[in-house]
Amino acid sequence: MEKYLALFHKKLDQFFNFCYTKALSYISSLYEYIIFQVHPFWHHLFYYIIVSLLGYFSLKATSRKQRSSPVFSDPRHDDLDLFFTSVSATTISSMSTIEMEDFSSPQLVVLIILMLSGGEVFLSLLGLQLRKSKHRKREQKNILLNSPSEGMKYKSLVALGHVVLGYLLVCHIIGYSLASLYISISRSASNVLERKHIEMHLFSLFVTVSTFSNCGFIPTNENMMVFKGNSGLLLILIPQILLGNKLYPSCLRLVLWVLEKLTGKAEFSYILKKNDELGYGLFFSQVDALLLAVTAVGLVMVQFVVFCILEWNSVALMDLNWHQKLVGSLFQTVNSRHSGESIIDLSLISPATMVLFVVMMYLPSYTTFIPVGYDKEISPEMSSKKSKKQGCSIAENLKFSQLSYLAIFVMIVCITERRNLVEDPLNFNVFNIIVEVISAYGNVGFSMGYSCKRRLGDIGTCKDAGYGFVGRWSRQGKMVIILVMLFGRLKRFNFKGGKAWKLSL
Cα–Cα distance for residue pair 280/60, rounded to 1 Å: 36
CA 228 to chain centre: 24
Cα dihedral 61→67→69→75 (10° resolution): -20
Contact 318, 226 (CB under 8 A): no
Cα–Cα distance for residue pair 129/161, rounded to 1 Å: 7
Identify which of 356-370, 384-398, 422-436 has the greatest average pLDDT: 422-436
Cα–Cα distance for residue pair 406/415, rounded to 1 Å: 14
Residue type at 143 in one-letter notation: I
Cα–Cα distance for residue pair 436/96, rounded to 1 Å: 11
Average pLDDT on 189-207 reads 94
Average pLDDT on 457-470 reads 81
Average pLDDT on 86-98 reads 94
The three-state DSSP-derived secondary structure of 379-421 is CHHHHHHHHHCCCCCHHHHHCCCHHHHHHHHHHHHHHHCHHHH
Higher-scoring residue by pLDDT: 228, 71: 228
Contact 86, 118 (CB under 8 A): no
Higher-scoring residue by pLDDT: 359, 66: 359
pTM (two decimals): 0.87
- The model's confidence at residue 67, banded by pLDDT at 50, 70 and 90, is very low
**What pLDDT does residue 30 have?**
67
Contact 102, 75 (CB under 8 A): yes
- The model's confidence at residue 499, banded by pLDDT at 50, 70 and 90, is low
**What pLDDT does residue 204 have?**
96
**What pLDDT does residue 459 have?**
66
DSSP 171-231: HHHHHHHHHHHHHHH-HHHHHHHHHTT--HHHHHHHHHHHHHTT----SSTTTTGGGTT-H
Classified as helix, coil or strand, 442 is coil
Number of H helices, E strands in the chain: 21, 0
Mean pLDDT of the residues in the chain = 85
Q: Among candidates 368, 189, 344, which has minimal Cα distance to 287?
A: 368
- The model's confidence at residue 173, banded by pLDDT at 50, 70 and 90, is very high
